Amino acid sequence: MKSNSRLLLAGDIGATKTTLALFDATVVPHHPFNQHTFQNALYPTFDDLLHEFLQQTPRNPTDVCFGVAGPVTAKAVKMTNLDWAIDADTLKAHYGFSQVFLINDLVATAIGAVHLPATDLYPLNPGVTTAGAVIAVLAPGSGLGEAFLVEHDGVYQPYASEGGHASFAPRNAEQIDLLAFMLKRHAHVSVERVCSGLAIPELFAFMTTRQATPDRLQTELASTTDPTPVIIQAALRALQGECPCDLAVHTLMLFADILADEAANLTLKTLALGGLFLGGGLAPRLLPFLTPDRFMPIFARGAYQKLLSQIPIQIILNPHTALLGAAAYGSVAFRRNMESIRED
């Protein structure tokens, strides 16, 4: 393989799509090149996708860092919502890479979030930041990702979590009914089951037990294999006054309420006085439902209501935050390796 020692391949490998790009490994990454996004369903394995990307790339990297949707154990990951297995040592041997790092996709998002400019963030609650305190990241996408960052010697270190698979705890009578509905469908109802892209059709099905489905929406749903974007668009149209659809609006209000409650849970469990980032693909799409007057009364509750009301909350608008985070992680690792070689 023809190589370039200064070239870093970074990737954001999610449940439904993968974005790969090349970066200059010697600087803090900002400007990728040869960036491509792939639909995972078109590739039996990640190796098939990676091979296609490298075939399209005139310059081949030696250093690699991928953020992957799943727990990374012993430099390998079996993805949570996709039948792919990725092993760092296997990739290194097969392609001749010098270094291959696999990190959780929410770790990548967390790293990327602290590097974002203010223009890539939407302030949901200004709050008061405590310097050096933990920062939490909650990201509803295809699944529900959670992570946090801890300051050490002036540098924030990211840590993965699988908190999205913890049990869902309803907060009111409606959500108690939702849990009973979900338990008829699933042996275990995690937070992800009711607070993610995968969850929206389930929330919608629950709401149809309480409200009738409008004919137009029923027709649109019958003609698609992916109901989530149809439900979201129906709700957004209704909010904009284009076409009434209380069913879709109430579905996404329920989603937003559960998200606010889980955001508070994560903040309390990590004592994230440094702030909370809401990322993933859904948060920026659902901004009209994530308003301070609805979100904050649910988020700031209980024994620590005052503390929670002062937590800075920002919604990540940049869809490539995880990619930038993976590149930042790989770039730091590359420079450390160069320093180690010089010292030797």
Q: Is residue 158 part of a domain?
A: no
**Residue 292 belongs to a domain with what CATH number?**
3.40.367.20
Domain that holds residue 224: 164-316
Judge if 82 and 184 occupy the same domain.
Answer: no
Spatial strand order of the sheet with 4-13 comes to: 33-39, 17-24, 4-13, 61-68, 99-104
Judge if 332 and 311 occupy the same domain.
Answer: no
Judge if 96 and 188 occupy the same domain.
Answer: no
**Residue 93 belongs to a domain with what CATH number?**
3.30.420.40
Q: Is residue 66 part of a domain?
A: yes
Judge if 253 and 268 occupy the same domain.
Answer: yes
Per-residue pLDDT of the chain (344 residues; tens, 9 = 90+): 444 457 899 999 988 899 999 998 877 667 888 999 999 999 999 999 999 999 998 888 989 999 998 889 999 999 877 889 999 999 999 999 999 999 999 999 999 999 899 999 999 999 999 999 999 999 999 899 999 999 988 888 999 899 999 999 999 999 999 999 999 999 999 999 999 999 999 999 999 999 999 999 999 999 999 999 999 999 999 999 999 999 999 999 999 999 999 999 999 999 999 999 999 999 999 999 999 999 999 999 999 999 999 999 999 999 999 999 999 999 887 766 555 544 55
- Provide the domain count of the chain: 2
Judge if 283 and 339 occupy the same domain.
Answer: no
β-bridge partners, 17: 39
Q: Is residue 137 part of a domain?
A: no
Q: Are strands 33-39 and 17-24 parallel, antiparallel or unpaired?
A: antiparallel
Judge if 16 and 103 occupy the same domain.
Answer: yes
Judge if 242 and 305 occupy the same domain.
Answer: yes
Judge if 231 and 98 occupy the same domain.
Answer: no
DSSP string, 226-278: -HHHHHHHHHHHHHTTSS--HHHHHHHHHHHHHHHHHHHHHHHHHT-TTEEEE
Judge if 334 and 299 occupy the same domain.
Answer: no
Burial class (CB within 10 angstroms; exposed 0-12, middle 13-18, buried 19+) of 228: middle
Residue 215 structure tokens: 């004919």
Angle, helices 200-207 vs 173-183, to 10°: value is 110
* The model scores a pTM over 0.75: yes
